Amino acid sequence: MYTIDDKAYPCCTSVTMRFIGGKWKAVILFHLIDGAKRYNELRKIIPTITERTLSLQLKQLEEDDIIDRKVFTEKPPLMVEYTLTDFGKTLLPVLEAITDWGKTAPERSKKIIRN
């Protein structure tokens, strides 16, 4: 049994999913593997995510210390950049495995059509 923020998790898999579960977190993290991205860059490379959802997911990932949010205020306009933290980088093997599975899945499933 594990506890995070006073909530119990029955196994290590549920702990992992607590941090990267859901439709968008792993997608956001995948795009941060190559380096820092600004909010608008993430919006462009993930066009099907809503602004509200992206904002909420980024906030959760930041609160969980998976990503770091850096605000540049030296000169207008305000710029915000997101990067993986050292803790977030420990998820790289998991994200790479998810990515590899997604690349080969269309060959194994008739339900998946690669466009």
Q: How far separated are the first and last CA of the chain, in Å rounded?
A: 42
Distance separating alpha carbons of residues 115 and 113, to the nearest angstrom: 6
Per CATH, which fold does 2-97 belong to?
A: Arc Repressor Mutant, subunit A (1.10.10)
Tell me what pLDDT residue 77 has.
Answer: 81
pTM above 0.85, yes or no: yes
pLDDT at 73: 83
Structural domain boundaries of the chain? 2-97
- The predicted pLDDT at position 53 comes to 97
Q: Which of 22, 25, 10 is nearest to 63 (CA)?
A: 25
For 61-96, write each residue's pLDDT tens digit.
Answer: 999 999 999 998 887 888 899 999 999 999 999 999
> Which runs of consecutive H residues, i.e. helices, occur in 21-115?
25-32, 39-45, 51-63, 86-89, 92-108
